[in-house]
Structure 1
Amino acid sequence: MIHYKAIGKIMGALLMLLGLLMLPGVGFSLYYKSNDQIALLSSAFVTLSIGAAFYFSLSKQDQHIRKREGYLIVTLSWILMSLFGMLPYIFSNTIPEVHDAIFETVSGLSTTGASILNDIEAMPAGILFWRSMTQWIGGLGIIVLTVAILPLLGIGGIELFVAESPGPTSDKLHPRIRETAKRLWLVYVGLTLLVCFLYYLGGMTFFDAINHALTTMATGGFSTKNASMAFYDSAFIQYTAIVFMFLAGTNFTIIYFGLRGKFGKVWKSDEFRSYAMAIVFLALLFVWPIYYYSGEGFEVSFRNGLFQIVSLITTTGFVTADYTSYHQGLTLLFFMMLFLGGSAGSTSGGIKFVRHLTFVKNTWLEFKRIVHPRAIVPLKINGDRVTGKIITHIMNFLLIYLMIFVLSSVIMALMGYDILTAFGAVATSLGNVGPAIGQVGPMDNFAFFSPGAKLFLSFLMLLGRLELFTILIVFTPFFWRAN
């Protein structure tokens, strides 16, 4: 039996928290006199009121949240956050169409960074800040934040944490899941403040610095400028973004150990080593072709190449150059990066390096098993043996991910879009990246899609953000059967 009252109470708490997070934008609205403070206050009031109605009208139930409740809470909460998160756009009339507002909100919360806005710089300050805030909320996840600060969830917090936190690993910094969530958020907040200071030091206004800091650490990619990071012709700002995008794409547990001086644990991570070395290898591979085809200086070519590699691999989506203008071979390689993703336990979307690493290692060992069929050849990650159950889970994930990509691309093509645009839109939505290829390249946006296509892509963004199984399992018949 599913505890619906407990689910409703927790979702009420999440909505109240979401409503409170709408309020900081009011300060920017008043300071810049952008006249959108009423829309933000009204949105916060509606969200807080409905959240409070859920929370206080339901009696306190057994707080032992099982796996089924955990998956259902996460799925329903992200849908509710998307619906209520669009209210500032609707009330301010900056995005009057519901399908557009849903797309922009889901893109923000899922940290995809795809946008339907044609003139970002014309948006009022308060709405721009809320737009960036949606990505920061979605970075580590509002449920992880709730587990960190609300005692409401009690021991059930572990089920929500596992259901929402990306990646196949279950690293914990502390035996109590609430303490783990707190420490992850402290690292997240600390790095956000640091990159904000560095952006400001590099020449950004405080408003631009705080907005870009929020979306950098969330690996979201929303910018306050139409040209994204290309607007800032500053090596300091762009190299700062590269460093912090790389950090945001790193497992936050690894960052925590690094901050504690436990560098042995950092380098022991097979995933971190693979992630770091892949970026170095790709940077060395791309720098000469980009230098040749762009016609720019070596340093600029190196910076643009490294920036786009880190941005795409970490699924941030910031751009400093049009990578589709170099050569079709380079465009294809950049497209393939949409399927990499950063580290498990980071704010990145995508498939994640640990899954690729497991697949490659298991495939290599399979050749050995064929030659020596009686040999016991275990697969190890970080020195620990990977069980058959985990290997099966990862292989199933990769197969389902590929099937969804192919099927969704066919659906987009049937809607009337060319094959490159269909591939690009689906890959970037499912991977939570932002820019892609075709008509959704780094210098384009998603405004031209039909309402149905936008809603379909929004679903793919949520599916990718919650890593397939959290949402798909809700659609299975055995999920709803009583125990």
Structure 2
Amino acid sequence: MRSFVLLRILIIFLGMVAAVMLIPLALAVVNGEGSMVLAIGIPAGIVIAAALPAFFSFRKDRPRFRPRDGFLLVFLTWILMSLLGTMPFFFSGHGLSFTDAFFESACGFATTGATTITNVEALPKSLLLWRSMSHWIGGMGIVLLTVALMPLLGVGSFQLVKAEAPGTDKERITPRITDTAKLLWICYCVLTAVLAILFRLGGMDWLDAICHSFTTMASGGISTKNAGLSWYNSAFIDIVSIVFMLLAGLNFNLYYRLLRGKFKDVINNTEGRAYLLIFIIAAALVTITLVPVYGSVGSALRYGAFQTASVLSTTGSVITDYTLWPAVTQGILFCLMFVGGCSASTAGGIKVIRHVVLWKQTGNELRRILYPQGVFGIQLNKKVGRKDVVYGVAGFVFLYAAVVAFTTLAGAVSGLDIFSAFSTAVAVLCNIGTGFGAIGPGRNFSLFPDYLKWVYSFAMIAGRLELWTVLVLFTPEYWRR
């Protein structure tokens, strides 16, 4: 009975994704893209037909499931919706193998700016839209969307959000988790709409503006152009992108507090302040090192701030070949790859809050050497933090390092040099998508062996779900009654 309940909920989740696919399907019909009508319409129609009975069955009863089932449900959702998203790529008629098609789909839902496609501009417009929409859906999370639209899941919904949403702690900003999910999605949609309008004012056509707003707010970083945002060569577009990449990397709960006039909560937010401070310091250092390269502070600030915001927010957008920059500049960007955005944001990575916790705990350990009998704690948001948060963060960082090591080894086995293997492992696990060496600017994942693409696909999904949600399923304790 429990398995049947999970299956019904899983089908509903996939039905939500299939319903979104109707938008690029409509574009394919309008543009007369016959192959894409079939590539999108058939899988979407099959899933919707299966989801409708499951949806209406919930109106008769409200089944419950155990909190631990949320981990399995979320993991299966991301795997199966990646498989569903594979179909438009695989059947598009553009020569993508099933492995490459799944990789593209996993990149989308994991909001990783990686690709195996060498000529993006040759793709049909409907496929470009679906490619960008998969990033946008994955940015806030399909589970969070479903919880927002379906209070039918009852008490189990908070467990699903905890399993899917990133960060060290998940809080309810409203008494009901469904209301919280709705507010977060409203903020997400409003910011995306504003960004699309600004991109349109900057010279993009509506399709490009919408696609780039989807991927920028999702911290995805892919583009409808082979050259990315550099194709437009627009300072206005670059500046707008910097602002919204940073906004996407902030904790979305802060936007709700701003709307409610709780400015003190926003100002006292430890993670938000640290995130902006890291950006300001890193952007300043990068700009200083680039002044001799570009010959002016303005150009150095434009390119330096863009790449700093792109890496920090794990967006992965590129407007210049930063591997030609001075070694110290590349070193700063490389270090930022290990930081990530804020918790409860669309950004990936380790997350700023974990770095803050470890930094504060390091200070405590240094003080403990001087004062062995002292009692020291950490403060977050002007409040005393729980001691178990430190243990959780330490365990997570160790696990992250272990997965990076395994993924690096997998890349090295394929023949990558050790630096490229390490940079790629960090780029996929942190959902950045671009890095150094074999995946530097102008390069992609098309030449990697198929087995490595599957490893990287799993790493992207695991990184998007914060590792715990995925790896807990591989422990014997999880499957014990």
The equivalent residue for 1:30 is: 29
Distance 1:424 1:457, change over 3 A: same
- Contact kept? 2:420, 2:437, Cα under 8 Å: yes
Distance 1:323 1:66 in 2: 48
Superposition pairs of residues 270-281 of structure 1, within 5 angstroms: 270-281=270-281
Range that drifts further, 236-245 or 381-390: 381-390
Distance 1:412 1:289 in 2: 32
Distance 1:55 1:256, change over 3 A: closer
The equivalent residue for 1:325 is: 324
After TM superposition, give the deviation of residue 221 of structure 1 in Å. 0.7
The equivalent residue for 2:137 is: 137
Superposition pairs of residues 178-197 of structure 1, within 5 angstroms: 178-197=178-197
Distance 2:475 2:210 in 1: 42
Tell me the SS of whatever aligns to 2:305.
helix
Identical aligned pairs, as a percentage? 38
Distance 1:24 1:69 in 2: 31
**1:202 and 2:202 equivalent?**
yes
The equivalent residue for 2:212 is: 212
Distance 2:50 2:103 in 1: 22
Amino acid at match of 1:260: R
**1:426 and 2:425 equivalent?**
yes
Please list the CA deviations of residues 355-378 of structure 1 after superposition, one character each: whole Å capped at 9, or x if unmatched: 000000000111112221222111
- Contact kept? 2:410, 2:452, Cα under 8 Å: no
The equivalent residue for 1:116 is: 116
Distance 1:261 1:442, change over 3 A: farther
Distance 2:95 2:76 in 1: 24
After TM superposition, give the deviation of residue 34 of structure 1 in Å. 3.7
Amino acid at match of 1:180: T
Distance 1:56 1:91, change over 3 A: farther
Distance 1:61 1:385 in 2: 43
Distance 2:295 2:121 in 1: 28
Alpha-carbon RMSD across the aligned residues, in angstroms, is 1.7
- Contact kept? 1:324, 1:330, Cα under 8 Å: no
Distance 1:114 1:60, change over 3 A: farther
**1:460 and 2:459 equivalent?**
yes
Equivalenced residues, count: 480
The equivalent residue for 1:242 is: 242
Distance 1:19 1:373, change over 3 A: same
Distance 2:30 2:57 in 1: 37
- Contact kept? 1:112, 1:433, Cα under 8 Å: yes
Tell me the SS of whatever aligns to 2:91.
helix
Amino acid at match of 2:137: I
Please list the CA deviations of residues 321-344 of structure 1 after superposition, one character each: whole Å capped at 9, or x if unmatched: 111111233223212211111000
Range that drifts further, 357-366 or 330-339: 330-339
**1:69 and 2:51 equivalent?**
no
After TM superposition, give the deviation of residue 419 of structure 1 in Å. 1.2
Please list the CA deviations of residues 389-431 of structure 1 after superposition, one character each: whole Å capped at 9, or x if unmatched: 2110100000111111122212210121111220121110000
Distance 1:468 1:455 in 2: 17
Distance 1:115 1:15 in 2: 23
Distance 1:236 1:248 in 2: 18
**1:340 and 2:339 equivalent?**
yes
5+ residue gaps, structure 1, are none
Tell me the SS of whatever aligns to 1:209.
helix
Range that drifts further, 180-189 or 380-389: 380-389
Distance 1:331 1:7, change over 3 A: same
Amino acid at match of 1:196: A
The equivalent residue for 1:374 is: 373
Please list the CA deviations of residues 248-303 of structure 1 after superposition, one character each: whole Å capped at 9, or x if unmatched: 0000001221233322111110110000111011111110212223x354312211
After TM superposition, give the deviation of residue 26 of structure 1 in Å. 2.2
- Contact kept? 1:65, 1:157, Cα under 8 Å: no
Distance 1:273 1:388 in 2: 22
The equivalent residue for 1:46 is: 46
- Contact kept? 2:184, 2:252, Cα under 8 Å: yes
Tell me the SS of whatever aligns to 1:92.
coil
Superposition pairs of residues 329-478 of structure 1, within 5 angstroms: 329-478=328-477
The equivalent residue for 1:16 is: 15
- Contact kept? 2:348, 2:430, Cα under 8 Å: yes
Distance 2:261 2:393 in 1: 31
Distance 2:61 2:416 in 1: 49
Please list the CA deviations of residues 438-483 of structure 1 after superposition, one character each: whole Å capped at 9, or x if unmatched: 010122111110100000000000110000100000000000000x
- Contact kept? 1:166, 1:466, Cα under 8 Å: yes
- Contact kept? 1:23, 1:41, Cα under 8 Å: yes
Please list the CA deviations of residues 143-176 of structure 1 after superposition, one character each: whole Å capped at 9, or x if unmatched: 0000000132111100001000111122221011
Distance 1:428 1:70 in 2: 27
Amino acid at match of 2:172: K
After TM superposition, give the deviation of residue 46 of structure 1 in Å. 2.5
After TM superposition, give the deviation of residue 59 of structure 1 in Å. 10
- Contact kept? 1:219, 1:317, Cα under 8 Å: yes
Distance 1:64 1:152 in 2: 10
Amino acid at match of 1:232: Y
Amino acid at match of 2:446: A
After TM superposition, give the deviation of residue 60 of structure 1 in Å. 6.7
Distance 2:286 2:259 in 1: 31
5+ residue gaps, structure 2, are none
Distance 1:154 1:51, change over 3 A: same
Distance 1:42 1:297, change over 3 A: farther
Distance 1:111 1:375 in 2: 44
**1:167 and 2:167 equivalent?**
yes
Please list the CA deviations of residues 166-206 of structure 1 after superposition, one character each: whole Å capped at 9, or x if unmatched: 11122221011000000000000011101001110111100
- Contact kept? 1:99, 1:451, Cα under 8 Å: yes
Distance 1:304 1:65 in 2: 50
Tell me the SS of whatever aligns to 1:196.
helix
Q: TM-score, normalised by structure 2?
A: 0.96
Tell me the SS of whatever aligns to 2:350.
coil
Distance 1:155 1:60 in 2: 17
The equivalent residue for 1:78 is: 78
Distance 1:155 1:194 in 2: 34
